[in-house]
Amino acid sequence: MAGEIISVRVRGVGALRRVVGERLLKMPEGSTVAELESVLGIDTEYSPAFLVNGRRRVRGARLFEGDAVTVVSLMAGG
């Protein structure tokens, strides 16, 4: 049904912990990882990777009610 809202739990790890934090987001049903990334406003310098329910997902992957998303930075540092 159009107009439905889903809840997605999101948390940042490592360098993205301060940027993303840990929160519950409400998103339109059918939202993708790319749309979540846009909502979070993550700077591309972090080269974020998204784990949905423990599995790495591409930005075009759909999100579903109750998904747990972990955002990690793939940037190298020293």
Q: What is this structure's pTM?
A: 0.89
Cβ atoms of 26 and 5 within 8 Å: the answer is yes
Is position 78 within any domain? Answer: no
53 domain residue, yes or no: yes
Distances 57 to 3, 4, 5, 63 between C-alpha atoms, Å: 24, 23, 21, 10
Domain range enclosing 65: 5-73
Model confidence at 77, pLDDT cuts 50, 70, 90, reads low
Q: Give me the number of domains the chain comprises.
A: 1
pLDDT at 78 over 80: no
77/75: higher pLDDT: 75
pLDDT digits (tens, 9 = 90+) for 29-70: 999 999 999 999 988 888 999 999 999 999 999 999 999 999
Tell me, what CATH number does 20's domain have?
A: 3.10.20.30
Asked if the structure places residue 13 within a domain, the reply is yes
Whether 35 is in a domain gets the answer yes
